[in-house]
A and B are shown apart, each in its own frame.
Chain A
Amino acid sequence: DVKVTQSSRYLVKRTGEKVFLECVQDMDHENMFWYRQDPGLGLRLIYFSYDVKMKEKGDIPEGYSVSREKKERFSLILESASTNQTSMYLCASSPGTGVVGEKLFFGSGTQLSVL
């Protein structure tokens, strides 16, 4: 089974801190995604990557950056955390066969609280 691992289940940070959320997948998937989930808003796509060192903005990239130096690892970076970035962050991956609408494999999520 594909495993997508997010490094922290819960994280508490202070405003202004630089925050790194790490995600690792073990199935050689090409595509990786970062979403945030807030009550009543569903999942919103922050960034995605379809190849090493390639990244594309999603619907809400402001205040975030990403890094994909290796195929299996996709990091989400909050340059200067703010309270409105308190949220559940979900990482996902997909094989990258070029087919639109591939099955996504999700990690368990990181609940980030910014105080």
Chain B
Amino acid sequence: SQQGEEDPQALSIQEGENATMNCSYKTSINNLQWYRQNSGRGLVHLILIRSNEREKHSGRLRVTLDTSKKSSSLLITASRAADTASYFCAPTGQTGGFKTIFGAGTRLFVKA
């Protein structure tokens, strides 16, 4: 099944700095999604990028996709303490069918 692997496992930055998280996957995809999870809560969808797109923006979020390298990155600019959360990527493709598989995520801690 399709699964992304996030890197780094954990990231600690100061408020106002940018945070970059990476995702690698193994097989071809239809799209790739990023989700956020605040401590002990459900996941919230952040952004979806299709396989024919290279970059997408949403507010302070910027996602890039490089299908030749089978990787994606999520950039959060001017981070805030409220961005402290775990971030998961979810690449989805035909091999996975309707299943969305998640990796272990990147834990981001933003210090005020």
Contact = CB atoms under 8 A, between A and B. Distances in A.
Interface of A: 4, 31, 33, 35, 40-43, 45, 48, 50, 58-59, 88, 90, 92, 94, 99-109, 111
Contact of A104 (B30, B31, B100, B104): B100
Contacts of A102: 98
A105 B98 contact: no
A106 B41 CA distance: 9
Interface residues of B, number: 29
B16 interface: no
B48 A101 contact: yes
A100 B30 contact: yes
Interface stretch (B56-64, B70-78, B89-97): B89-97
Contacts of B42: 4, 90, 92, 106-109
Contacts of A107: 42
Interface in B30-53: 30-33, 35, 40-45, 48
Given A4-B42, A90-B42, A108-B42, A43 B88 contact: yes
Max chain B C-beta neighbours (<10 A), residue from A50, A101, A108 = A101
Contacts of B1: 59
Q: Is the interface of B mostly helix, strand, loop or mixed?
A: loop
Nearest to B100: A104
Given A45-B99, A100-B31, A104-B45, 11 more contacts: A42-B88, A42-B102, A43-B102, A48-B98, A48-B99, A59-B101, A100-B98, A101-B29, A101-B92, A106-B43, A111-B40
Contacts of B105: 42
B100 A101 contact: yes
A40 B98 contact: no
A41 B104 contact: yes
Contacts of A41: 104
Contact of A103 (B48, B94, B97): B48
